[in-house]
């Protein structure tokens, strides 16, 4: 039973990393803690960063439109938008 659960998790991760926003997701994952902290130092930044990554992973896996993804990012708030702007393709849209 556990093997199936892990197989499903790996399949979901593969779908996210091979999906529509693979490059953006890789760029987000490449941001350092200091780059994130430089945006607005505080304890919520890393939490927002984690949620942002999950939003982009889901968008990539589900192949949602770029406009819808940008709306989701904006709904996460100012910190998420500032982090996303570190990614050139998102910066042009935000």
Q: What is the pTM of this model?
A: 0.74
Is the Cβ–Cβ distance between 70 and 21 less than 8 Å?
no
pLDDT of 1: 45
Mean pLDDT of 64-80: 93
The domain of 30 spans 2-91
The string of pLDDT tens digits covering residues 9-68 is 666 666 655 677 888 888 998 988 888 888 876 667 788 899 999 999 889 888 889 999
Contacts by 12-15 with C-beta closer than 8 Å and gap 24+? 12/61, 13/57, 15/60, 15/61
Domain count, the chain: 1
Q: Which residue has the higher pLDDT, 73 or 26?
A: 73
pLDDT of 72: 95
Q: What is the C-alpha to C-alpha distance for residues 4 and 28, in angstroms, rounded to an integer?
A: 29
């Amino acid at each position: 039973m556990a093997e199936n659960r892990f197989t499903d998790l790996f399949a979901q991760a593969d779908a996210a990393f091979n999906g529509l926003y693979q490059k953006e997701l890789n760029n987000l994952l490449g941001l350092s803690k200091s780059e994130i902290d430089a945006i607005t130092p505080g304890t919520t930044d890393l939490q927002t960063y984690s949620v942002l990554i999950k939003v982009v992973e889901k968008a990539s896996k589900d192949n949602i439109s770029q406009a819808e993804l940008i709306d989701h990012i904006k709904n996460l708030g100012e910190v998420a938008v500032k982090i996303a702007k570190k990614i050139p393709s998102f910066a042009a849209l935000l």
